[in-house]
Structure 1
Amino acid sequence: MSSTRSPSPPGPATELLIISHGSPSEPAPQEAFVRELAARVAEVSGAEVRGATLAAEGALEAAVEGLSHPLVFPHFMADGWFVATNMQKRLAKAGLAEWTTLTPLGLLSDLSALALEHLRRAMQESGLPVGETTLIVAAHGSPSNRRPAEVTERFAAQLRAAPDFAAVRTGYVDEEPSIEDAASVEGPALVLPFFAAEAGHVLMDLPEGLEAAGFDGLVLPPIGTWEEIPRLIAAHLRERAAA
């Protein structure tokens, strides 16, 4: 996805603003996370990078101050309502006149390849048998918008094309099939949380669903927190800035 507030191109000095959802009930940890992510992306890209959540009061307004026409990277897993509508309104309300929205994390073309490499290492380190292990992709979903599930299913389909797994199943917090249903499997299995951050759904809903399923296998950290993500974002930034 690529949407733009203004048809004019970004200026010669690349400015990147990383925006994540954040946690309204406990904003500080997620605000610290996105700022640390921005610092790591700046380190590997050489660009000016700032980060803010939508949840922390005043964070977005502070982050856009002094920016002219930044590239905005949504640290979200889908291009649903928050990215397509809410974030755009919030940027304008924060005082930003022009910006270019980049492809969200969950839709980056190289994400599935990065995930496959990460999964192979995790399986090897954990002794999970290649070709005999079930992969469970746990995601948010939405009862009112098909887009989040569509993005998740596309990601899962890309992993199914690899011979590494006995099956790739998807389960959701907010729609069917549930995480409990997806994780009710026999034999070796592991869970990939298709989430941008380690917040409420990952800390509460996911463990509850896995416990209900009796799942006691390997659960990876959410994909948006992996150490490879800053370089993936930096590569996307270079591609877009050069376009």
Structure 2
Amino acid sequence: MPYRGKTTLLIVAHGTSVADGDPAGVLARQLRPHWNGPVTHAYMRSDPGLRSVLGKMMQAGQTARLVVVPLFFSAGYLVNDELPAILNEAGLRHAMVLPPVTGLHGFIPMVADCLATTLAARNWQAGETTLFLVPHGLKSLKEPSDEQIWQAQRIANVVPELSVKIANVEGQPSLADWRSMADRPHSMFLPLLAGGGVHARTDVPEMMALTEADEAVVLSPIGIWPELPPLILDQAQKRTRHAVVLANFTTADKFVSQSVPAG
């Protein structure tokens, strides 16, 4: 039965080879009780695949009004090129696509609050702490990307006492070299990852190789933060309300134009 008058929320993530790694599905289940409409999820590189999910949604009449949430932490090829191409291919050019997580309004305040809480819990001073942002990165990176530098600067702007560094899982600068980059007595690691995959579970801990002598704390991957679902929900609701108001305004404007004789 078609869903009339409701907006569908679709969470799209990269995908993982880990059997029980399902970050998009977990997020969808967290959002479902709070969303007035269907909520589902898909992956770009694993199952359920995005094309298959879109096909089923179209058959169910769930795509007339669609908000897509990219569970990504950079605006790379998958978000900027492949995702829009697949939506266009499915005839869903009208879909409302939110920015990746790091581009959401409120993302930096959310991170800043977590950093402040962590520092206070450890009785650390920001001026004595190096914050390592840990993105997935790319094997081809020889230095931080412009987007990574921008993210680091945004955090440094709100917590200026911190020393903020980039430490990629893949590419340079590498997380494996974090000790040579640390310039403060304490270190914090913030994985810009969805969570649940091989990188978060295995690669990051192995690359850091922390010892008892290290004054370090590893934060949970942002994709599993409890503060993230409310942030996404707020952005999706605002986008939907804006679209509805705009549609009503456009319809009313056309009605007036057709009703009032020219001249």
Q: CA deviation at 1:72?
A: 0.9
Q: Which residue of structure 2 aligns with residue 6 of structure 1?
A: none
CA distance in 2, matches of 1:56, 1:181: 31
Deviations 1:26-58 (A, max 9, x none): 3x4233x32221121233343432112223334
CA distance in 2, matches of 1:52, 1:209: 29
From 42, 56, 78, the counterpart of 1:52 = 42
CA distance in 2, matches of 1:207, 1:216: 15
Partner of 1:71, secondary structure, is strand
2:38 partner amino acid: E
Structure 1: segments with no counterpart, 5+ residues? 1-10
Q: CA deviation at 1:96?
A: 5.8
With normalisation by structure 1, the TM-score equals 0.81
Matched, 1:42 2:41: no
Contact 1:135 1:168 in 2 (8 A): yes
Contact 2:15 2:47 in 1 (8 A): no
Q: Which residue of structure 2 aligns with residue 68 of structure 1?
A: 63
Deviations 1:154-174 (A, max 9, x none): 221111123464411111122
For residues 82-231 of structure 1, the aligned pairs below 5 Å read: 82-91=78-87, 95=90, 97-98=92-93, 99-144=95-140, 149-163=145-159, 165-184=161-180, 185=182, 186-211=184-209, 215=214, 217-231=216-230
Indicate how the Cα distance of structure 1 residues 215 and 21 shifts in structure 2: closer, same or farther if over 3 A, else same. Answer: farther
Structure 2: segments with no counterpart, 5+ residues? 243-263
Contact 2:129 2:186 in 1 (8 A): yes
Contact 2:137 2:170 in 1 (8 A): yes
Q: CA deviation at 1:223?
A: 0.9
> 65-74 vs 95-104, which deviates more?
95-104
CA distance in 1, matches of 2:225, 2:179: 22
CA distance in 1, matches of 2:123, 2:209: 22
Matched, 1:13 2:6: yes
Percent of residue pairs bearing the same amino acid type: 25
CA RMSD, aligned part only? 2.8
Contact 1:44 1:230 in 2 (8 A): no
Q: CA deviation at 1:209?
A: 2.3
Q: Which residue of structure 2 aligns with residue 5 of structure 1?
A: none
1:241 partner amino acid: T
Q: Which residue of structure 2 aligns with residue 3 of structure 1?
A: none
With normalisation by structure 2, the TM-score equals 0.75
Partner of 1:151, secondary structure, is helix
Q: Which residue of structure 1 aligns with residue 254 of structure 2?
A: none
Q: CA deviation at 1:149?
A: 3.1
Q: Which residue of structure 1 aligns with residue 261 of structure 2?
A: none
